[in-house]
Amino acid sequence: EVQLVESGGGLIQPGGSLRLSCAASGFTVSHNYMSWVRQAPGKGLEWVSVFYSAGNTFYADSVKGRFTISRDNSKNTLYLQMNSLRAEDTAVYYCAREVTDSGTHYYFDSWGQGTLVTVSS
């Protein structure tokens, strides 16, 4: 059974740093595209970053230069290092697995339960 479990969220002051973890089971993180998606309180979904199986990474403009996605293959875990945090980064952060039906169309088939990050003084 595919399972994703996020951790590492919490209350942090503006300008601070936090590292989120997403522990996967039932599949191999390094063989899949893995994304972080966030949702501000009462708002919609915003894609944050993706780590491709080949090693490429991409970021939303809103976090570029501040956030870094990484993975530890030995722990089958995805990470999101968040620096220079701002109030507008307050959100539930989900990790999600992307799969494809054909090698071209991708979609999020599995999601973690999310971890809440609150940036406030």
Partner 1 sequence: DIQMTQSPSSLSASVGDRVTITCRTSQSINTYLNWYQQKPGKAPNLLIYVTSNLQSGVPSRFSGSGSGTDFTLSISSLQPEDSATYFCQQSYSIPWTFGQGTNVEIK
- Summarize as ranges the residues that interact with partner 1 (CB under 8 A): 35, 37, 44-47, 50, 58, 60-61, 94, 101, 105-109, 111-114
Q: Measuring CA to CA, which residue among 94, 121, 98 is closest to residue 7?
A: 94
Nearer to partner 1, 13 or 44 (CB): 44
Residue 34 CB, shortest distance to partner 1, in Å, is: 13
Look up residue 91 and give its two tokens: 């959100």
Nearer to partner 1, 27 or 111 (CB): 111
Nearer to partner 1, 27 or 47 (CB): 47
Residue 26 CB, shortest distance to partner 1, in Å, is: 15
Residue 72 CB, shortest distance to partner 1, in Å, is: 22
Residue 18: phi, psi to the nearest 5? -155, 145
Nearer to partner 1, 29 or 95 (CB): 95
Indicate the length of the chain as a whole number: 121
Task: Collect contacts of 105-109 with beta carbons under 8 A, ≥24 apart.
Answer: 106/33, 108/35, 108/37, 109/2
Residue 13 CB, shortest distance to partner 1, in Å, is: 26
Contact 79, 69 (CB under 8 A): yes
